[in-house]
Each structure stands twice: as structure tokens, then as C-alpha cells.
Structure 1
Amino acid sequence: MDYGRIYEIVNGHTRFYADSLPMIASENITSKFVRRCYLSDLGHRYAEGKVGERYYQGCIFIDEIESSAIALTKELFEAEHANVQPVSGVVANLAVFFALTDPGDKIMAYSVPCGGHISHDRVSAAGLRGLSTLYYPFDNDSFEIDIDATRNIALKEKPKLFVLGTSLILFKQPVEEIKEIADEINARVMFDASHVLGLIAGRQFQKPLKEGADVMTGSTHKTFFGPQRAVILCRRELADVIDRSVFPGVVSNHHLNTLAGYAVSAMEMKIYGEDYARQVIDNARKLAERLHELGLDVVGENRGFTETHQVAVDVSRHGGGEKVAEKLEAAGIILNKNLLPWDSLKDTVNPSGIRMGVQELTRLGMKEPEMEEIAEIIYGVISGKISEKEAGNRVKQLKSEFNTIKYTFEEHLAYEFPEIC
């Protein structure tokens, strides 16, 4: 294979997504204003250390970018302190674990089937820190933590850190209630806002820091408008320990081209985030309602299905999540299989659920009528009432009408091919 083939593959990928409905809940599309930073000279440079305290020369312009990014982040999230150096959500979580725990400590988090992210568990970042993860007692019917049972476990086991925020996140989470328990045992509360960061910035979701979380982490490329990296926000009293855990703890150089892209995306979020976040939630709810009307087992009916960008469906009656996700991919609908609270970890290969997100489709300008049409195509494929080929044609036709990025300084085509390719 030569370099030309790589370019062909990149273009093939772009064409594939131009004709598909991207509904992976952890992805979004960036504007050209953000993308311009990717290919800048910043991608070649290093800036170890903090603003004004670098270990290399030549960082005067980088300092200005990072200072702007910090100021915008603190403003968007009403935070006392912000660190914008983590290069991914897992790295941000690992930094917090290093800052607030010691090896051998216990933490409490959601189990993976109940939506927890792997970085909160022993198989990933928490385990690398030497932590033992206890799981919140979870009510499958209400889709909520059992607070009384959690208190009983916490008083006995004395976890050092309570982790909230999940990978499958449909509803607001009990920050205030968990903070009360944490205060009883002198523990801290962390909220992983990776999936809902843009909804929080857009003032359409709960405010974990205001509700009592000591620290909030979040990747910047899901509901937020940014490139793939992350932020950590915390109380002023934790600023030094968090910063030290990021650098020199888990980050050296912090990918300065995407840092600049993040700063631009934060500007976009400041201006357009509220309208965008409101439409995201409206779209997700409409999609869930229509899927339910058509007869699919949409999770969370008793709570209105969703308060975020995500919709989850139990497709165990239709062959399970793997089979359904593959059928939908063949029709140009890109989402993922997902464990649900009633699944076992043994079901990871073929769980009972699928998870979808509407944030990227919303950024392309889709609204409630398009969500209804998408629901009908999804139902048609799952039920076998329309062929994958027919569904694919409908998907291409629909997507052809929505190929422009909205909620940015100047609307533009979403799937442009760089000249180098």
C-alpha cells in the first residue's frame, strides 16, 4: 500500500458518511473553523507546562490560545478552575483519579450495564490507579440509583470518590443526593460529563458543579462542538492538585492543534450552544416517541424516554443489539449495540440494546420531522418491513438534503474533501 491508497480510503470514508445517518452517541462533526486548526503549524509544536511556565521557548502564541481556552471554559461552565490540557476523556478521568485517590482506595460508580464508562471501572483507568470499584444499586424500572441503598454501602465501605456521569445517559443524575452521602464520609464527587458537555454548556441540562460535584470532566467531541480532547473543571481548592495530575502526571505535550480547535469550538458553543442543545433534546425525544409509537421497546418510557441526546432501545425481541446494529449499518444508519441494565457482562458481544445519538444530525440542521422519518426507517429495517436496500435509498435521499453544518459562524458544506486527498 502506498500513501495514495491511504488518501483513497480517507475519501471513501468521507463519502460513506456523506450518504449515511451518523448516530453514534459519542461522535459529532466539527466546523471548518475548527478543522483549520488541525492542519496548522501548531500540530508540529510542544508546550509542556502551564501558561507562562513552559519548559520550552517559542510558546508565546500558544500561551495566548490556551489562556483564551481556559477563560472561555470557565465562563461556559461557571467554573472556578479549568484545565484544558487532557487529550481525551479517559486521560481526564485518570488525572482526577490520581489527584483525589490513592492506590487501594474504593470508589463508587455505575456498572457498565447500567451505563457506566469503562474508565470508571477496574478494567481501565480506575484499575490502572489501583482502585476498587463498587457499583451503585440501580433500579432498572425507574432507571435511577437507589439512594438509600447507596448510603448503606457507602457508610460501610467508605469509598474515597463517588463517580457520576455515564456512557449511556438518558436522564439527569442525583448529584445533590450523592454529595450529601459523600460529605458524611469525607469523600469527593466527580461528574463525568463527556456525553452531555454540550448540553450543559447550552444551559439545557443539570449543572453538576452547582449541584455539588467537586470535579467535572468531559470530552469535547460528543455533544460539544470540538475536536477529540477533554477538559477538567473543579473547585478552586483543588486547582493545584488537578493541574499537577494532568502535567506532569498524565499529559506531556497536549496536542496544540486540537487545543486551538477546542478554543474555536468553545466560541461557537458560547454563541450557538443554547439553541443547538435545545434542538438536540427535542430531536431525541421526538425520535424516541415515534419509535415507541411504532412498537419498539424504547427504554425509559416512564420518564419520558430521554432528557439528553441519546435514545436506547431494547431489541432483544429482534435478535439482539449486534444483529440489529449490523442491519442498520447496511442501510446507512450508523449506531452501536449497547448493554442495558438487565444485561450481564457476558452479553457484551450481543447485548439486548442499541444506543443512538442525534447530536450530529442536529448540527446538520435536522429537526422533529426528520426524526420521525428516521424512526420509521429504523423500525422498517428492524421489523423487516422494508429491505436494507430500500432503507439505504431513503437514507441517502434524506441525507442529501442535510449536508451543511449549522450553529457556526458561517454555514458551510459538511463533507468537503481536503485538497491533499
Structure 2
Amino acid sequence: MERPIDYALAIRDLARRHNALFRDSIPLIASENIMSPLAMEMLLTDFGFRYAEGLPHHRYYQGNFFVDQVEDMVTELAKKVFGSKQADPRPISGTNANTSVLYGLTQPGDTITTPPLEGGGHISAARFGAVGLRGLNPVNYPFDVEEMNIDIDGTAKLLRETRPKLVLFGQSVFLFPTPLRELRDVFEEIGCTVWYDGAHVLGLIAGKQFQDPLREGAHIVTGSTHKTLPGPQHGIILGNADEEVWKAVQRGVFPGTLSNHHLNAMAALGVTLAEAMEFGEKYAAQVVKNARAMAEELASLGMKVLGEKNGYTRSHTLVVDVREYGGGRKVAELLEQRNIILNKNMLPWDDSRKSQNPSGLRIGSQEVTRIGFSEDDCREVARLIHRAVVKGEEKEKIIQEVRELKDAHREVKYCFGRLEAYRYFEIADLGDSGH
């Protein structure tokens, strides 16, 4: 490339091709989703070029008259949707929200109890993640593979022995609700602050289809806003905490772990929360139905879907043991080549030091639900996966059938307004000169 404009045009071309890839693929990554047209509109506003350090009406910059009103509204919407006493929509990601809690509520050397990485825990809670960077000592809960959840009795024993002041629950592989109610007496006995990472299931919580952590014993809930909650890539913190705890968390947000907080994404989050109030219950219910249908169909075809004892899943996620087909990495790459996009994932027996070649696949139903897939459609997805992985059917035949299935679902659902999913919006008029 000889001219700067050539680089710019090449980037535009790659972006177009990326949109086309997802337009013609079945998207099953459990941590992704697509936004509504009105939420997308917010990302293109002048909000995206401005700063608003601090809290509304107490800023360090001028020009925030309208920003303050938006942030007030987003905060109020979050409290209504999740029934929380407090909400902070400033974190710019789920991991940033987690780091803010760690900086607000812990000191280096503190012990924190967390889900194990191989049992679905998030990397921010691992020794090499934000927990380690904060200088904390993470101790993992015992995990029950048959239940695909933390072991209740073992966790109660661990909490009484370690007596941490902050306990973390929530996972990236989150099949079933965390047993908060069963452990509530232990929380009160040791006097800890209970923190629930709801990044993956935030939209299901909003839609009243999973569990209600703030009513079951959690004081703080963190989350990403772009997974089952189908908003922008952003974060949020919710609380039913004592004022002293909440103020510490907010200090962890600013000035602790961020400065400006991506105002256009915050506005998009507000739109997403308003849509969750209107459509969230219906959407979340269909997400769970679709995940269960996919899991049951894969199991009926002979694939090893975990969590059978409890019905495979009560969330958007299912996990499959694919060791007999070459392992998670090989199978995920094979499916990607056939326009079925999902990811390899560790299973409870895997060695976390070898996470690049794990035993399993993680599959999510939330994005296909967003574009109108039904249980029957998800059963067909399961059959396509089986035909590609187990039967080894011809690559081009699978790709063609994936496209045919996807062609029947071209519109974003459960939102205000209408939009063709995966459409590329060209707004730059470069003219003949490229300027």
C-alpha cells in the first residue's frame, strides 16, 4: 500500500467482510450479541467524543449538561430493571466493573474466594487476572461436576475456614443458578460482602428467567452489558449495599480504575435497558428455551452435553465434551470453517495451564434468539453441528444449509424500531480524491 487512504480503504473492506461473515453464519458465542437500531444510533453520536469524569452534576469538565441527564436516566432505568438500590453505569466493560469492586473493597494480601477457572470462573478472578494484579490471595470453591455448579457443603466449609471479607460468585460458563440462598446463613455468620458476577446472565436476570441475586444474598452485582443483555460493549455495577460499601465501590470506579466512561455506549445502554423493560421477559424466556432445545437435540444425537442431571441448562449456555472428536480447539475451528461460530472451552477436569486445547465447546443461544430463532431452528442448528463434527459431511453442503437457515432470520427482534441484522452502514463520502 502506497497511500494512507489505501490503508483506510483496506480497513473498511475488512469491516464489510466481517459483517458479511456474521450475516451468513450462525453466531453461537455465549458472550456476544447484536444491538437494536436505536441503541446502535447512540454509538454514532457526539457523546462518543466527549469526557465526563466523576458523577453527574459533579464533573471535572464543562459541556456535560445533556450527558448528566442521560446518566441520571440510565442509572434510574438500571435500578428499575434490576430492583436495585444503587447502580453505576460508568464501567466500560465487565472486567473493568470487576476490577473496580476489587480496588474498592479489598487491600493487597486479602483472601478472596472465587469459582475455579476450570469450573467456569472468569479470568478476572484468576491469580493471573485482576485478582492477582490487586495482590489478592484467591481460594477456589470446590466444584461438583455432576451438578455443574459449586459444591454447597464444601463451599460452606471453605468460607467458615477462610472467613474472607469479600466472596465472589458467578461464572463465564454459567449453566445453573448459584446456590446463594443455601449459603446465606454462612454469609451472615462470617459477615462478608457477597459479590455476584452476572456478566453472562444479566439479560436473563433482567427478564426474570434465571435467579435474582440481589434478593438471594448478594450485596453487589457486576456485569457486562452485551451478552444476554443485548446492549453495547460496556459494564455496570448494581448494589443493595450499605452506603459505606457502595461509596467504596464507586471510588473503585473513579478515580480507581477509569477516567472517562464512553458516553455513547452509556447512552446505548440506556436504550437497551428501556427495551429490556418492554421486551426482556419474552426475550429471556426464549433464550432459555432455545438453549435447552439445542442441548437436548445434541444429547439425543449422542454428543456428550454436560449438566444432564439438571436438564443441561437453565441459562443461554450449554457445554459439550468433544474429546472423542479431537478436542475443543479442533472442533471449534472445524465448525468456524463451516460458518458455525462458537468457542472452545475448558471443562471441569481440564488443566487450566493448557487452556488453548481444552476438552469442550461452549455454545450460547442469545444472539440467534435476538434474530428470531425458535426451538425448532435451534434443533436444526444442533443437527448441523452433529453432521459436521460426527458425520463429517461435506463442508460446502453444511455452509449452504447454514446460509439457508440464516436467510430466514434477517431482522433484529425484541427492540424498538426495525433493522436488518449485520447490515453494513456506509456513512463516509470519500469522493474521487479520497478526502
Match of 1:417 in 2: 424
| Residue number among 374, 379, 387 corresponding to 1:380 in the alignment | 387
**Does the 8 A contact of 1:179 with 1:189 survive in 2?**
no
- Deviation track 1:262-321 (CA, whole Å, cap 9, x = no partner) reads 111111111000100000000000000000000100010111000000010000111100
Q: Are 1:299 and 1:313, in contact at CA under 8 Å, matched by a contact in 2?
A: yes
Aligned to 2:216: 211
Q: TM-score, normalised by structure 1?
A: 0.98
Q: Say yes or no: does 1:54 pair with 2:64.
A: no
2:378 match: 371
Q: CA deviation at 1:348?
A: 1.0
Deviations along 1:58-90, whole A, 9 cap, x unmatched? 101000100000000000000000000000001
What is aligned with 1:97?
Answer: 102
Gaps of 5+ in 2: 2-6, 429-435
Residues 37 and 417 in structure 2, CA contact (< 8 A), matched pair in contact too: no
> In the alignment, what sits opposite 1:27?
32
Corresponding position of 2:18: 13
Cα offsets for 1:240-277 (capped at 9, x unmatched): 11111111111110000111111111111110001000
Letter aligned with residue 46 of structure 2: D
1:51-90 equivalent positions in 2, closer than 5 A? 51-90=56-95
The alpha-carbon deviation at position 183 of structure 1 amounts to 2.1
Mapping of 1:123-272 within 5 angstroms? 123-237=128-242, 238-272=245-279
Q: In the TM superposition, what whole-angstrom CA distance separates every residue of 1:217-255 from its partner, at most 9, and x where no partner exists?
A: 010000002100111011242321111111111111000
Matched, 1:347 2:357: no
SS of residue matched to 2:167: strand
Tell me whether 168-177 or 66-75 shows the greater mean CA deviation: 168-177
The DSSP-based 3-state class of the residue aligned with 1:405 is coil
The answer to whether residue 314 in structure 2 is matched with residue 307 in structure 1 is yes
CA distance in 2, matches of 1:75, 1:379: 42
Q: CA deviation at 1:350?
A: 1.2
Distance 1:167 1:178 in 2: 21
C-alpha separation between the residues in 1 aligned to 2:133 and 2:85? 29
Percent same amino acid among aligned pairs? 45
State how far apart, in whole Å, the 1-side matches of 2:138 and 2:188 are: 19
Equivalent in 116, 125, 138 of residue 111 of structure 1: 116
With 205-214 and 147-156 compared, the bigger mean Cα shift is at 147-156
**388-397 or 410-419, which deviates more:** 410-419
Secondary structure (helix, strand or coil) at the match of 1:232 reads strand
Task: Measure the CA separation in 1 of the matches of 2:204 and 2:103.
Answer: 27
| 1:297 and 2:304 matched | yes
CA RMSD in angstroms comes to: 1.1
For residues 113-141 of structure 1, what are the alpha-carbon distances to aligned partners after superposition, in whole Å with 9 as ceiling and x for unaligned? 10000101111111111111101011111
Aligned-residue offset at 1:152: 2.3
Q: Distance in 2 between matches of 1:151 and 1:7?
A: 53
SS in 2 for 1:413: coil
3-state SS of paired residue (1:412): coil
Tell me the secondary structure at the aligned position of residue 375 of structure 1: helix
Mapped partners of 1:91, 1:184: distance in 2: 30
Q: 1:358 aligns with which of 356, 365, 368?
A: 365
Measure the CA separation in 1 of the matches of 2:330 and 2:249.
Answer: 43
Q: Decide which of 331, 335, 338 is 1:328's aligned counterpart.
A: 335
- Structure 1, residues 339-368: CA drift from partner, whole Å, max 9, x if none? 000111133121110001010000000001
Shift of residue 154 of structure 1? 2.2
Query: Match of 2:117, as an amino acid?
Result: V
Q: 1:369-396 deviations in whole A, cap 9, x for unaligned?
A: 1011111000001113412221111101
For normalisation by structure 2, the TM-score amounts to 0.95
Q: Which moved more, 1:62-71 or 1:382-391?
A: 382-391
The one-letter code sitting in structure 1 at the alignment partner of 2:351 is S
Matching residue of 1:41? 46
Residues 17-65 of structure 1: per-residue CA shift (max 9 Å, x gap):
0000011000000011111111111111000110110111110100010
SS in 2 for 1:376: helix
Amino acid at match of 1:394: E
- Structure 2 counterpart of 1:390, from 388, 391, 397: 397
SS across alignment from 2:223: strand
Report if the CA contact (8 A) 1:327-1:388 is conserved. no
Q: Which residues of structure 1 form unaligned runs of 5+? A: none
SS of residue matched to 2:168:
strand
- Distance in 2, matches of 1:147 and 1:289, equals 26
Alpha-carbon distance in structure 1 between the residues aligned to 2:165 and 2:126 = 14
Q: Secondary structure of the equivalent of 1:113?
A: helix
Partners of 1:62 and 1:55 lie apart in 2 by 13
CA contact (8 A) 2:196 2:213 kept: yes
In the TM superposition, residue 180 of structure 1 has moved relative to its aligned partner by 2.3
> CA–CA distance in 2 between the matches of 1:229 and 1:179?
30
